[in-house]
Amino acid sequence: MASLLCRRVQESLIFESNVNVQSKEDNSPVTVADWSVQATVSWVLSQAFGSENVFIVAEEDVETLSRCDSVGLLDAVAKTVNDSLAEAPSFGIRPPAAPLNTSEVLEAISRCNSPGGPTGRFWVLDPVDGTLGFVRGDQYAIALALIEDGEPVLGVLGCPNYPMKKEWLSYQNGYQRIVSRLASPSSTSWNRGCVIYAKKASGVAWMQPLLEKEKKFVWPNSAREIKVSTIDNPALATLCEPVEKANSSHSFTAGLAHSVGLRNEPLRVYSMVKYAAIARGDAEIFMKFARAGYKEKIWDHAAGVVIIQEAGGVVTDAGGHPLCFSRGMYLEGLDRGIIASSGATLHEKIIRAVDASWNSSSL
């Protein structure tokens, strides 16, 4: 549901230029989709488990939407949420008895105020991970994870623009959009979109394609098991890294890639689609080393960690330790950076390279 919602908002944003784009205090863009997804997911989880049993750590709050000068934006969010919930029966979900009013939409969003922590059960949601990619018509993800006593036990990634053919990942987003607009609905030249999910200790990760018929998703459809790549030769491996340089050092990862023997051009992708790429076998390594002062948020990694691990991969910090999701909204105690790999052999080589070159880095 959230993937369909985002796809429609993104198309309006790109082709109609009539979608509200706000700016948060940290200057990252927030669209109608962020708040609409958060309200929709919050409402559905509350209906399934009871609002008193649902605790969500999420990125957006209601401060901007609650301002008196945001009435138009709030109305747009409410309409988007109600349009999405009206299609709930197609996904096996009971819709609300009546459209949600703006107060109910704000209530659903404000329910996402859990501080997280080491005990109990809570959800972690990034309604639109990779908002810059979303605004630019590129890759983004809807990321949801369930945390129990500090450990992620369920991960779900909605990747509405993820191409079924991995070669398309390296094409620029403008070219992708042109081809997708020109291709017929039945064409296989640009099949895109999937939901990837996994449960801890199940030993399997699944991918459900987002199949459309007459602009509506066909759900459920045939999910298939996905596995990480079997490549363990660095010369044949592909590295994923963030597009933006603002919170990640491309120069340091480039040095590491060279020292380990990676020869392929890096695949620069927005959002947790990088985790999806490794889980699906389209890439082998993801490294992120943040600049001083930047703190990683748990909603940017929780879902992806579960999915890669169950698909057969490895995710740790640069010291080889599991990521810690039990200390609130940040990954506290992170050793230098984050490394995700398709297998232990590549993972160990990256960690050794980090140890050998860290003192000469400027991070």
**DSSP symbols for 170-210:** GS-HHHHHHHHHHS-TT-STT-EEEEEEEETTSS-EEEEE-
The CATH architecture that domain 234-360 belongs to is 3-Layer(aba) Sandwich (3.40)
Angle at 121 between CA 298 and CA 2, to 5 degrees: 60
Would you say domain 2-226 falls under CATH 3.30.70.20?
no
Q: Known binder of ligand: residue 300?
A: yes
pLDDT in tens, the chain (363 residues): 999 999 989 888 766 655 667 766 665 667 899 999 999 999 999 999 999 999 999 987 788 788 877 888 899 999 999 999 999 998 889 999 999 999 999 999 999 999 999 999 999 999 999 988 898 888 999 999 999 999 999 999 999 999 877 777 766 555 455 555 555 444 444 478 999 999 999 999 999 988 776 666 777 788 999 999 999 999 999 998 888 766 667 788 888 888 899 888 888 888 999 999 999 999 999 999 887 788 999 999 999 999 999 999 999 999 999 999 999 999 999 999 999 999 999 999 999 999 998 877 665
Helix (H, G, I), strand (E, B) or coil at 285: strand
Closest CA to 126 of 25, 30, 243, 12: 30
Q: Is the peptide bond before 96 cis (omega within 30 degrees of 0)?
A: no
pLDDT value, residue 145: 98
Q: Which helix (H) or strand (E) holds 156?
A: strand 151-163
Closest CA to 158 of 118, 183, 129, 116: 129
Residues near 38 by Cβ (< 8 Å), separated by ≥ 6?
58, 59, 60, 108, 109, 112, 125, 127
Q: Which helix (H) or strand (E) holds 94?
A: none
Closest CA to 314 of 341, 292, 337, 296: 341
Does the active-site annotation cover 34?
yes
pLDDT value, residue 263: 86
User: For 323, which DSSP code?
Assistant: P
Q: Known binder of ligand: residue 59?
A: yes
pLDDT value, residue 183: 52
Does the active-site annotation cover 80?
no
CA distance 314 to 354: 16
Helix (H, G, I), strand (E, B) or coil at 347: helix
Helix (H, G, I), strand (E, B) or coil at 346: helix
Tokens read off for 182: 């020109």
Backbone angles phi, psi at 53, to 5 degrees: -105, 0
pLDDT value, residue 136: 85
CA distance 210 to 29: 26
CA distance 315 to 347: 8
pLDDT value, residue 276: 97
Tokens read off for 165: 């053919």
Residues of the chain with CATH 3.30.540.10: 2-226
Closest CA to 250 of 272, 233, 268, 271: 268
Which sign does the torsion angle of CA 176, 180, 181, 182 carry?
positive
Tokens read off for 250: 């491309």
Angle at 309 between CA 232 and CA 317, to 5 degrees: 80
Residues of the chain with CATH 3.40.190.80: 234-360
| pTM beyond 0.85 | yes
pLDDT value, residue 189: 40
Task: Confirm if 65 and 109 have CB atoms less than 8 A apart.
Answer: yes
Tokens read off for 173: 């987003």
Reading phi first (left if > 0) and then psi (alpha if -120 to 50, else beta), residue 70 is in alpha
pLDDT value, residue 127: 95
Q: Which of 40, 131, 238, 316 is catalytic?
A: 131
